[in-house]
Structure 1
Amino acid sequence: MNLADRLHTAARRLGGRAVLTLDGAELTYGALEELSARLARLLLARGVGAGDRVAMMLPNVPEFGVVYYGVLRIGAVVVPLDPLLKRREIAAYLGDCGARLLIAWHAFAETAEAGAAGTGADVFFVVPEEFRRLLRGVGAEPEIASMADGDTAVIHYTSGTTGRPKGIELTHANLGGNAAAVARMHALGVDDVVLAALPLYHTFGQTCSLNATVHAGARLTLLRRFEAGRALEVIRRDGVTVFQGVPTMFIALLDHPGASDMSMLRVCVSGGAALPLDVLRAYETRLGVEITEGYGLSETSPVAAANRGGHHRRAGSIGWPIRGVEMRVVSEDGRDVPCGTIGEIVVRGPNVMKGYWNDPAGTAEAIRNGWFHTGDLGRTDEDGFFYLVGRRRDVIIRGGYTVYPREVEEVLYEHPAVRQAAVLGVPHPELGEEIEAVVALRAPVTCEDLRDFVKERVAAYKYPRHITFLDELPMSPTGKILKRALARPSAVRAGRSA
């Protein structure tokens, strides 16, 4: 099974129906199938073949679907990258996966080219009209590469740029099965219009928006970037019936003065972080729509559990496992803990990743006895609903985006004035968590200068908005910085902050 087969099947059945729309631009199923087949031929002519890694840095535009399914069609591996990445981040990811080619949106050409320099990856830029003209001059590749269920389709990166980036290998079966499960769970059909508010380079948007839409024969209407007023306009203009987002999106919509009755939304799904209960209730009472919460990680393709609608939903819960997936809450020794007791959530099923790219030790640590250990802490209730309590790791979830503290810490340590650094998440009413850096200095530097230093080197959502200076960071006897001692509000710390 090749994930591109899903598009081929839908195109034969729904060739003239729209699949991807962006304002006035539209791609039908037939056009998406043909253009992706032409791109496949172009890739083959450039020497790209089955198993080769092709990175793509594209925003939410119709060309994303063309490139995505075109790469999969020849059996190559898609490596989706955030278009906001900086040079050093791009270089790290391309170098780690050994990408043959980087296909980037024209607006990011300078950064993409600088990042690819020295990695061995060629660079191809997508300029909409030129891209279409180029593909019109290429014949369509008629064959779709035959792939085994366990063949890698996509490598998603979730780690930083220093040390060794961690690439999550998701197979054709992982992604195809998860997309089918999402489509089935939400009863997606040809009359549904799904809002692509989530970035398609992320597993949430890729599986739940793009692949599930194609599987169901629905239509995906794209937002280049989320802005509440614009989202409301598109929802009403295009008759959106399905909205999937992270809590910050739901909060922004709720706070927008133009928000009113949204009962036309048949399905509303929140993921990526816990949704405040007050927000969930406000959607029901003020906007006439029910939000269901789900749970997953990139390593689980991503959906592992979800609430269902109506009486199959419990506020504050992440629901229960989707069909074919098992979840448990276990102690440190791997034994099931009693109902209501907090432990680590572990997952087993066809959605669990193949492993970490070129990292057998990391894979063996994460997948033990067939169970993927999420590092997330949770509990269950007497009815089998799961609840997410916290994260064992120090991962920060800022507005649905994952930020790894070590990546930011390594950049801070590059500044000559920094002697010690720790990065942690602090509560934020809208974003869930905000990023704070706690720093001990060896030479004077201002918060603004240090913040700008980091901002120039990482994606915009990763740099610390708050910086606290201490004379010394608390240390363990073995010399490790004790983040537990720092995880309290900055206002009570003895230090200078901004």
Structure 2
Amino acid sequence: MTQLSLATVLAEAARKHPSTLAVIDSATGERITYRDLWDQTLAYAAGLKALGVGPGDTVAIQIPNLADFPRIYFAVLAAGATIVPMHLLLTPDENAYVLSDSGASLLVAHSSQLANATAAAEKTGIKVVSVGPAVPGVERLEDAAATVPPLKTYASREAEDVAVVFYTSGTTGKPKGALLTHLNLVMNTMVNVFDIHDLRQGDVVMGCLPLFHTFGQTVGMNGTFRLGGTLVLQARFSGEAAIDLMVKENVTIFHGVPTMYIGLLEAAPKADRLPALRLCVSGGASLPVAVLEKFDEVFQAKIFEGYGLSETSPTATTNQPAFGTKAGTVGHPIWGVEVEIARPEIDERIELMADGELGEIVIRGHNVFAGYLNNDEATAQAVVDGWFRTGDLGTKDADGFITIVDRKKDLVIRGGFNVYPREVEEALARHPAVVQVAVIGVPDSTHGEEICAVVVADPGGITADELIEWSKEKLGRHKYPRKIRFAEALPLGPSMKVLKRELRKTYSDGE
């Protein structure tokens, strides 16, 4: 069996770039070199071992974007265990479900998260230890580590062993644990760093995406460490604070989701100086073309939009210089990965469609996960003929560019016509008074469903009637929204995606 551990990413960076700054923690002021980060990791791994953690065990971690996240993440890997990153915005009941479903034997929580972590762990009977500032009466990992010598090196694992279990926020029912192997995550890290963009060893990367989420973890943290760059951690994102931090630390690369780019654009007029960004990457949700264009104009920095899922490690496609870029698309498949369009109505097999036809995006390659934990039925539905069915509808053009049209389940059928919310959102996002918009279908007695746009607008910027009239000129008769609802903010999930299921709950009764 081939031996491979994701811990290699940090171990080798410490060997190759010992005196380079690995992490700048903006919350605590820590500035940690690769050598020190790896030494701390091996000490914490020994502490985990002293607490009974070893190869084959599962450890949950509940830590914000602080230096403790990479320290504990790589310590769990070095001890040979599997990691379950806990979302920081879930309730104790939701977290208790993840703890019991994953079979975690230990929860390592930052002291700032202890109230939630302890409440969840009590429901499942698992042990909690803290990291960070001491809390009376709670056992600390630092103390366990101080009683034993650090590990000499990381535990050996097989390439197909599970490294990380990501719980995907299902739109229906309980979240599912996606099993990502050491091979999945090492390959995705390597391809992101060496095959897609012009990354350089001296790059300084903004780490404001949540590290518990696959985008921030693989593309942000692991990619930076594989490169030997410096990761600047921001524990809580705000546009103004992010701009100040990027200017202060000379950040060259920004990874974000569309809501973050919108936040940066809102904050830019108030900033004394803007960062000199060389490369920006967007993922997690569709980026309106209007935002991409405005960002390029204001920040003088091009955004490369990509696409991926927890189940694909995450990166599957991205706009990349080798193939040229096309606004409004998610680019080409990454090296070693195939992305095609399949007939969405056929469940039992994959039938590929011609260029330009609309169907379900399917993916196969080294990035596709090993299945869902304890859920053979969901795995069999998701992986068919070796292809992962994404549940996203899209097209592939003659030049190989993939365009995401919408989630299969977000499709609105109005009076028998298919309406794709993303197309309506793209149009409305171009109105100067619209800051952010999400489009949903709401029940309607005449048409089955009606188009409803939930809009965050500039203060006093526009009325519902004005926006409806404006959208009539931009969209076909069956597509323009008949209902406009204004909101102060859109509900966001832990990974900063807009939660359309919450909007449907709120606005489906016509209010």
Corresponding residue of 1:367? 383
Corresponding residue of 1:319? 331
1:244-277 residue CA offsets vs partner (Å, 9 max, x unmatched): 0000110111111235875721110111111111
Residues 188 and 218, structure 1, Cα contact 8 Å, conserved in 2: no
1:201 is paired with a residue of what secondary structure?
A: coil
User: CA, structure 1 residues 307+261, in 2 after alignment: closer, same or farther (shift >3 Å)?
Assistant: farther
Corresponding residue of 1:266? 278
> Partners of 2:65 and 2:381 in 1: how far apart?
34
One-letter identity of the residue aligned with 1:87: P
Return the offset for 1:394.
5.0
More off after superposition, 361-370 vs 237-246: 361-370
One-letter identity of the residue aligned with 2:231: L
1:27 is the counterpart of 2:32: yes
Corresponding residue of 2:218? 207
Residues 203 and 298, structure 1, Cα contact 8 Å, conserved in 2: yes
User: CA, structure 1 residues 464+364, in 2 after alignment: closer, same or farther (shift >3 Å)?
Assistant: closer
1:182 is the counterpart of 2:192: yes
Corresponding residue of 2:104? 99
CA RMSD of aligned residues (A): 2.9
Return the offset for 1:128.
4.0
Which one of 303, 320, 336 corresponds to residue 352 of structure 2? 336
1:145 is the counterpart of 2:155: yes
1:103 is paired with a residue of what secondary structure?
A: strand
User: CA, structure 1 residues 496+345, in 2 after alignment: closer, same or farther (shift >3 Å)?
Assistant: closer
> Partners of 1:426 and 1:133 in 2: how far apart?
55
- Count, aligned residues: 424
1:72-128 residue CA offsets vs partner (Å, 9 max, x unmatched): 012100000112221101110001011100111112212211111141310011224
One-letter identity of the residue aligned with 2:333: P
Residues 262 and 288, structure 1, Cα contact 8 Å, conserved in 2: no
Return the offset for 1:45.
1.1
1:49-92 residue CA offsets vs partner (Å, 9 max, x unmatched): 11111001100000000100000012100000112221101110
1:379 is paired with a residue of what secondary structure?
A: strand
Corresponding residue of 1:193? 204
Corresponding residue of 2:474? none
User: CA, structure 1 residues 236+75, in 2 after alignment: closer, same or farther (shift >3 Å)?
Assistant: same
Corresponding residue of 2:469? none
Corresponding residue of 2:250? 239
1:127-151 residue CA offsets vs partner (Å, 9 max, x unmatched): 2477656644542111311111110
> Partners of 2:454 and 2:24 in 1: how far apart?
34
> Partners of 2:229 and 2:49 in 1: how far apart?
30
1:332-377 residue CA offsets vs partner (Å, 9 max, x unmatched): 3322222211100000000000110121221111111110011100
- Counting aligned pairs with the same residue, the percent is 40
> Partners of 1:366 and 1:170 in 2: how far apart?
15
User: CA, structure 1 residues 426+203, in 2 after alignment: closer, same or farther (shift >3 Å)?
Assistant: farther
> Partners of 1:215 and 1:428 in 2: how far apart?
41
One-letter identity of the residue aligned with 1:383: D
One-letter identity of the residue aligned with 1:377: L
Structure 2 residues without counterparts, runs of 5 or longer: 135-139, 412-420, 426-439, 441-449, 458-490
User: CA, structure 1 residues 162+104, in 2 after alignment: closer, same or farther (shift >3 Å)?
Assistant: farther
Return the offset for 1:17.
1.4
> Partners of 1:221 and 1:347 in 2: how far apart?
32
Residues 50 and 148, structure 2, Cα contact 8 Å, conserved in 1: no
TM-score (norm 1): 0.79
Corresponding residue of 1:173? 183
One-letter identity of the residue aligned with 1:122: K
Corresponding residue of 1:291? 303
1:157 is the counterpart of 2:167: yes
1:15 is the counterpart of 2:15: no
Corresponding residue of 1:112? 117
Structure 1 residues without counterparts, runs of 5 or longer: 399-404, 406-423, 432-454, 469-489
Which one of 125, 129, 132 corresponds to residue 130 of structure 2? 125
Which one of 367, 375, 390 corresponds to residue 351 of structure 1? 367
1:377 is the counterpart of 2:393: yes
One-letter identity of the residue aligned with 1:251: I
User: CA, structure 1 residues 71+311, in 2 after alignment: closer, same or farther (shift >3 Å)?
Assistant: closer
2:99 is paired with a residue of what secondary structure?
A: helix
1:80 is the counterpart of 2:85: yes
1:221 is the counterpart of 2:232: yes
> Partners of 2:453 and 2:388 in 1: how far apart?
28
Residues 44 and 141, structure 2, Cα contact 8 Å, conserved in 1: no
